[in-house]
Structure 1
């Protein structure tokens, strides 16, 4: 009977141990976040922004034939008919002129137009080279300008040698 008592006592203790494990405090748990609903941000239209800027100045047409006159360094004047050709802002030109008692020469212009201004270089068959700048009149029928025989474009700013023309 002793064995049966030990056996029963052991069984009861096992049952109590098992029961105490099931009814003890709950183990610490990590909180599971509540389910969230994914949302996609909807762009909110903003009022249109109007950018006000000045339009780029239109490049004037320099193409055509011009009767021109320029002041020489000896204060005499020279007359030449200049033919200008333009592609976009690139302008080239050719002209012929005569120095009395010296001969007839040819010249070439290579310039860039910006708005009503034409600025660039000239080269002539008598080995004269330099810089020129022309300003077109509002009605585009004439221009006034300056030229200088120099190696440096900055010399043009101080030049008093004029070169003017009228459209043919």
Structure 2
């Protein structure tokens, strides 16, 4: 059985093919040094364009995750964050990248917020950047008696809905 620790060493020693992908067993959140893992290159069925795992990988429960270029980048980013070559840091960054398709900004980074939380935060920033409503001019939305925001004919709520093409998510 090949482990994740052995895979990291093979990558550091440049003993991997540039075409390889990382294959792991189990949940990426549980990725550890002793997790069964391997490097291999998938083939593709010419008729269906479906991925075909390297021989024996499916039987071992291995599934593809990230390509060699991304693995190299994960290890380089981990070494930069750690300030030295550090296999534990490499494992941490690889685990994070597989789970979230993103780079952690520090070692042992917390999980990013769920997409809906991030969207709500970005929506709030958008609305706050619109500035105050000017009550000297009324919103052009029929039935709305609120003022308009700068450079718009709508209040915050209706400007948001016009630009974002979805309902205003706040109660204000």
Fold equivalence (TM over 0.5): no
As a proportion of its length, which structure holds more strand? 1
Q: Under TM normalisation by the shorter chain, which class is it?
A: under 0.3
Asked which structure has the greater CA Rg, the reply is 1
- TM-score if structure 2 supplies the norm length? 0.23
As a proportion of its length, which structure holds more helix? 2
